Structure 1
Amino acid sequence: MAKPSLFLFNNTEILDMTAAFTHTTRLFLLLVMTMSMVACGFHLRGEANIPAQLHVLTLTSDSGSDSFDRALRIALSKAGVVVIDKDSANNKVLNLKINAIAVADTQLARDADNDVSQIQRRLSSHYFIRQADGKSLYGPRAISTTKTLTNQNAEESAKLSYNQTHTESMYDDLANQLVSDLSYAPL
């Protein structure tokens, strides 16, 4: 007959529970780490495999934004694309043509004083890949990005600064989206 024990569990059961707890703890920590990376805006991105015909381009931008044009040149450079002047290009160099960026704001919320407190800003445009003679090879392709902007009922200077900062980051997102989309060009 077994001796009565002061412990509810024997040693083997305690080891099994510890192992299960350790496994559960590991999964929980992995989940917390993953969620915190996503929350801070981290995105795992692959390298954009731009077709060889697009490694050297000319750029015609009617975007209306120097910030977007700068962000696009940086994103193209990071993807291994060299942007050259039209004067130094031969007739085989393709042209990346950007149309004007449209900005649309949608009111999302109002505060107790009926002042707008939150808007959704959408930036959108179209682009083409064209031959030197102007014939389109790829496009029109639509690109767009959306962001919710709060603080719309703050002091005017604070609101303008806040909106400008977030719009600048939206231009970066739009430029990166265009470069990513170029990797799907069937050239």
Structure 2
Amino acid sequence: MHAQAQPKRIGQWLLMLAATLLLAACGFHMRGAANLPFKTIYLDFTPNSVVGVELKRNIQASGTQVVDDKKAAEAILKVISDTRDKQILTLNTDGRVREYALFQRFTFSVTDAKGAVTIPPTAITLRRVITYDANQELAKQAEEALLYRDMQSDLVQQILRRLSASKSAIAAENVDPEP
């Protein structure tokens, strides 16, 4: 029995090693803190915005300071709109809802301290589909809340990526043309 288990265990180790090497070879790496092109930012969110709180936490983790005064900020993120929507996607043969589509739409822009537009108004739309069953009302409400929370996290990551991508645009503006 012991002699048969040894080759199986070696095979499992080789499989894990191969998977690790494949992940390393494809360039996979854990997402680290965002590399933002400014040291301070003002976030124009309402005080009770859950997206604002999560974005603030992620920005601070990246080493950028979130300030409470627009005049002290190198960049100002202005929220143009932030809405959630729930639409009927499909109906069953009895005319009852079978699936919903959940949407989160977020539009923002970023300006620098002088008022120059760094990121023009940008819209991010997220969509998730949820099935519905009237016999499982509480479970479906909890699933909907979980999906909205997932969309919120995805939204924050997309905003951070766009803020990080603005680094190349800011660097291009700061380069003096040769005489």
TM above 0.5:
yes
Check conservation: 1:129, 1:137, Cα contact below 8 A.
Answer: yes
Are the counterparts in 1 of residues 43 and 66 from structure 2 also a CA contact under 8 Å?
yes
Question: Does the C-alpha gap of structure 1 residues 120 and 44 become closer, same or farther in structure 2, counting only changes over 3 Å?
Answer: farther
1:59-138 alignment, distance < 5 Å:
59-61=43-45, 66-86=49-69, 89-90=71-72, 93-132=74-113, 134-138=115-119
Give 1:167's aligned residue: 148
Which residue, 152, 156, 164 being the options, matches 1:183? 164
Where do 5+ consecutive residues of structure 1 fail to align?
A: 1-21, 35-42
Question: TM-score, normalised on structure 1?
Answer: 0.64
The CA deviation string for residues 111-167 of structure 1, in whole angstroms up to 9 with x for no partner, is: 343221211212121211123464433211222222112235345444333322221
CA 1:44–1:113 in 2, change beyond 3 Å: closer, same or farther?
A: farther
Question: Is the contact between residue 81 and residue 108 of structure 2 (CA under 8 Å) also seen in structure 1?
Answer: no
1:110 CA drift (Å): 2.5
Q: Which amino acid aligns with 1:80?
A: G
| Matched position secondary structure for 1:48 | coil
* Alignment partner of 1:50 out of 20, 28, 36: 36
Task: State the aligned residue count.
Answer: 154
Q: Which has the higher helix share?
A: 2
TM-score (norm 2): 0.66
CA distance, structure 2, for counterparts of residue 134 and residue 182 of structure 1: 16
* Unpaired segments ≥5 residues, structure 2: 1-10, 24-28, 171-179
C-alpha separation in 1, matches of 2:83 and 2:94: 30
The CA deviation at 1:174 is: 0.6
Q: Which residue identity is paired with 2:43?
A: L
Q: Is this contact kept in 1: 2:34–2:59, CA < 8 A? A: no
Separation of aligned partners in 1, 2:88 and 2:125: 18
Q: Distance in 1 between matches of 2:155 and 2:96?
A: 29
Q: Deviations over 1:97-118 (max 9, x none)?
A: 1222132334333334322121
